[in-house]
Amino acid sequence: MQSRVREKTARRLLVGIGVPILVIGGFAIVYFYDPDRNLLPIPCLFNMVTGLDCIGCGTTRALNALAHGKILTALSHNLITPFWLLLPAYALLGEWLRAVVGRPVLPPIRDHRWMLVLLLVSSLLFFVLRNLPWEPFTWLAATADPLR
Protein backbone atom coordinates (compact mmCIF):
# COMPACT_ATOMS: atom_id res chain seq x y z
CA MET A 1 0.00 0.00 0.00
CA GLN A 2 2.78 2.41 0.90
CA SER A 3 4.49 1.64 -2.42
CA ARG A 4 1.32 2.60 -4.29
CA VAL A 5 1.09 5.91 -2.42
CA ARG A 6 4.72 6.66 -3.29
CA GLU A 7 4.07 5.87 -6.95
CA LYS A 8 1.06 8.19 -7.03
CA THR A 9 3.01 10.96 -5.31
CA ALA A 10 5.96 10.52 -7.69
CA ARG A 11 3.61 10.63 -10.71
CA ARG A 12 1.85 13.74 -9.44
CA LEU A 13 5.20 15.42 -8.80
CA LEU A 14 6.58 14.41 -12.19
CA VAL A 15 3.51 15.63 -14.10
CA GLY A 16 3.05 18.72 -11.91
CA ILE A 17 6.61 19.90 -12.50
CA GLY A 18 7.43 18.22 -15.82
CA VAL A 19 4.48 19.46 -17.88
CA PRO A 20 5.10 23.17 -17.21
CA ILE A 21 8.82 22.70 -17.94
CA LEU A 22 8.04 20.97 -21.24
CA VAL A 23 5.42 23.55 -22.22
CA ILE A 24 7.69 26.50 -21.37
CA GLY A 25 10.64 24.85 -23.14
CA GLY A 26 8.58 24.11 -26.24
CA PHE A 27 7.17 27.62 -26.24
CA ALA A 28 10.68 29.12 -25.95
CA ILE A 29 11.94 27.05 -28.87
CA VAL A 30 9.01 28.06 -31.06
CA TYR A 31 9.22 31.69 -29.93
CA PHE A 32 12.94 32.20 -30.55
CA TYR A 33 13.17 30.06 -33.68
CA ASP A 34 12.84 32.19 -36.81
CA PRO A 35 11.66 29.94 -39.65
CA ASP A 36 12.53 32.60 -42.22
CA ARG A 37 16.20 32.81 -41.19
CA ASN A 38 17.06 29.27 -40.09
CA LEU A 39 17.69 26.31 -42.34
CA LEU A 40 15.75 23.85 -40.26
CA PRO A 41 13.24 22.33 -40.56
CA ILE A 42 14.08 20.77 -43.88
CA PRO A 43 11.69 21.85 -46.64
CA CYS A 44 8.67 19.62 -47.15
CA LEU A 45 9.64 16.67 -49.33
CA PHE A 46 6.04 16.18 -50.47
CA ASN A 47 5.91 19.80 -51.64
CA MET A 48 9.29 19.53 -53.37
CA VAL A 49 8.21 16.41 -55.30
CA THR A 50 4.58 17.26 -56.13
CA GLY A 51 4.41 21.04 -55.91
CA LEU A 52 1.37 20.66 -53.63
CA ASP A 53 1.07 21.78 -50.01
CA CYS A 54 0.64 18.96 -47.51
CA ILE A 55 -1.49 19.53 -44.43
CA GLY A 56 1.62 20.41 -42.43
CA CYS A 57 3.11 22.99 -44.80
CA GLY A 58 3.34 26.32 -42.98
CA THR A 59 2.98 24.80 -39.50
CA THR A 60 6.38 26.00 -38.24
CA ARG A 61 5.63 29.55 -39.31
CA ALA A 62 2.13 29.29 -37.84
CA LEU A 63 3.46 28.10 -34.47
CA ASN A 64 6.06 30.89 -34.44
CA ALA A 65 3.36 33.46 -35.22
CA LEU A 66 1.10 32.04 -32.49
CA ALA A 67 3.96 32.25 -29.99
CA HIS A 68 4.28 35.94 -30.84
CA GLY A 69 0.53 36.49 -30.48
CA LYS A 70 -0.06 37.02 -34.21
CA ILE A 71 -3.17 34.91 -34.63
CA LEU A 72 -4.16 36.17 -38.09
CA THR A 73 -0.63 35.61 -39.38
CA ALA A 74 -0.67 32.09 -37.95
CA LEU A 75 -3.97 31.39 -39.67
CA SER A 76 -2.55 32.69 -42.96
CA HIS A 77 0.38 30.26 -42.77
CA ASN A 78 -1.67 27.19 -41.87
CA LEU A 79 -5.34 27.65 -41.13
CA ILE A 80 -5.86 24.36 -39.33
CA THR A 81 -2.84 24.33 -36.96
CA PRO A 82 -4.31 26.56 -34.21
CA PHE A 83 -7.49 24.48 -34.14
CA TRP A 84 -5.59 21.20 -33.99
CA LEU A 85 -3.73 22.50 -30.94
CA LEU A 86 -6.89 22.98 -28.89
CA LEU A 87 -7.60 19.32 -28.17
CA PRO A 88 -4.07 18.30 -27.07
CA ALA A 89 -3.86 21.50 -25.00
CA TYR A 90 -7.14 20.64 -23.27
CA ALA A 91 -6.00 17.06 -22.58
CA LEU A 92 -2.60 18.19 -21.29
CA LEU A 93 -4.17 20.84 -19.07
CA GLY A 94 -6.60 18.26 -17.70
CA GLU A 95 -3.79 15.83 -16.84
CA TRP A 96 -1.72 18.57 -15.26
CA LEU A 97 -4.62 19.84 -13.14
CA ARG A 98 -5.43 16.29 -12.07
CA ALA A 99 -1.81 15.79 -10.98
CA VAL A 100 -1.62 19.09 -9.12
CA VAL A 101 -5.04 19.02 -7.46
CA GLY A 102 -5.20 15.26 -6.97
CA ARG A 103 -8.56 14.77 -8.66
CA PRO A 104 -10.03 15.36 -12.11
CA VAL A 105 -10.91 19.02 -12.65
CA LEU A 106 -11.78 19.13 -16.34
CA PRO A 107 -14.31 16.65 -17.70
CA PRO A 108 -12.50 13.96 -19.70
CA ILE A 109 -13.22 13.29 -23.35
CA ARG A 110 -14.83 9.88 -23.18
CA ASP A 111 -15.34 8.88 -26.80
CA HIS A 112 -12.17 9.33 -28.83
CA ARG A 113 -13.59 7.89 -32.05
CA TRP A 114 -15.25 11.15 -33.08
CA MET A 115 -11.89 12.93 -32.67
CA LEU A 116 -10.20 10.50 -35.04
CA VAL A 117 -12.97 10.89 -37.60
CA LEU A 118 -12.86 14.69 -37.24
CA LEU A 119 -9.07 14.70 -37.62
CA LEU A 120 -9.19 12.50 -40.72
CA VAL A 121 -12.03 14.40 -42.40
CA SER A 122 -10.60 17.84 -41.61
CA SER A 123 -7.14 16.77 -42.81
CA LEU A 124 -8.40 15.45 -46.12
CA LEU A 125 -10.69 18.41 -46.69
CA PHE A 126 -7.96 20.91 -45.83
CA PHE A 127 -5.45 19.10 -48.08
CA VAL A 128 -7.81 19.16 -51.06
CA LEU A 129 -9.06 22.73 -50.58
CA ARG A 130 -5.63 24.30 -50.01
CA ASN A 131 -4.37 22.89 -53.32
CA LEU A 132 -7.25 24.10 -55.50
CA PRO A 133 -5.85 26.68 -57.96
CA TRP A 134 -8.64 29.26 -57.85
CA GLU A 135 -10.03 31.84 -55.44
CA PRO A 136 -11.07 31.70 -52.64
CA PHE A 137 -9.04 28.52 -52.01
CA THR A 138 -5.65 29.91 -53.03
CA TRP A 139 -5.43 31.80 -49.73
CA LEU A 140 -5.26 28.42 -47.93
CA ALA A 141 -1.89 27.64 -49.54
CA ALA A 142 1.17 27.86 -47.31
CA THR A 143 3.35 30.88 -47.96
CA ALA A 144 6.15 32.76 -46.26
CA ASP A 145 4.33 36.04 -46.90
CA PRO A 146 2.15 36.78 -43.85
CA LEU A 147 -1.37 38.00 -44.48
CA ARG A 148 -0.93 37.91 -48.22
Cis (ω within 30 of 0) for the bond into 133? no
- Find out whether 143 and 78 touch, Cβ atoms under 8 Å: no
Its domain, for residue 29, covers 2-140
> How far is the CA of 53 from the CAs of 39, 50, 66, 106, in angstroms?
19, 8, 20, 36
Note whether residue 44 is domain-resident: yes
Residue 41 lies in a domain: yes
Assess if residue 54 is contained within a domain.
yes
Quick check: is 146 in a domain?
no
Query: pLDDT in tens for each of the 148 residues of the chain?
Result: 677 877 778 888 888 888 889 999 999 998 998 887 776 667 788 888 998 999 888 888 899 999 999 999 999 889 998 888 888 888 889 888 988 888 889 888 777 788 888 889 999 999 999 999 988 888 888 765 544 4
